[in-house]
Amino acid sequence: MVKIGVLGLQGAVREHVRSIEACGAEAVVVKKVEQLADIDGLIIPGGESTTMRRLMDKYGFIEPLKQFASEGKPMFGTCAGLIILAKKIVGYDEPHLGLMDITVERNSFGRQRESFEASLAIKGVADDFIGVFIRAPHIVSVGPDVDVLATYEGRIVAARQGQFLGCSFHPELTDDHRMTQYFIHMVKETKE
């Protein structure tokens, strides 16, 4: 059985754990750097990217996460997690992890009260996936090795680059586990 970690510093951790377990994989809430050695893939959940970054700095996660990525282990960033993975963030000089060759813009769909749900066609996942957008970022541009998986009203909202997967929405806030299943499949392929 593959072990999927959920970075447990801040954000929608429990919901991701529930989704991973619903897909038949083992979920591990990662709160210590040492736990990275025991997992096959990692989800960086939605939450507040600046707060998450502060906690990643405080608990010494930045370099170990880059090391985890350099070992070829898959990582999936949802909402704030997408911002954490991105190489460029509009209006900021420095990225957080800078692993995925994408440029993201924070809160590009408006504030909390402008949250919404939308039906998305996600390549390789589903034609009718309900995306939950809460203060969501979007992907402004992608590098040549990035595969765009979904768009909404002309904006890129899901993409994959090799072992990295990112989306603007919260797949864990629905009972549709197909996006999580897609990531678990990525992890299984890498393990084989």
Residues marked active site are found at: 79, 170, 172
- Residue spans of beta strands (DSSP E) within the chain: 3-7, 26-30, 41-44, 75-78, 86-89, 100-105, 116-122, 126-133, 138-142, 147-152, 155-161, 164-167
The verdict on whether residue 143 carries a ligand-binding annotation is no
Angstrom distance (rounded) from CA 123 to CA 87: 23
Token duo for residue 66: 């880059």
Let me know: does 155 contact 185? Beta carbons within 8 Å: no
The verdict on whether residue 49 carries a ligand-binding annotation is yes
The verdict on whether residue 48 carries a ligand-binding annotation is yes
Let me know: does 168 contact 137? Beta carbons within 8 Å: yes
Residues tagged in the binding site annotation? 47-49, 106, 134-135
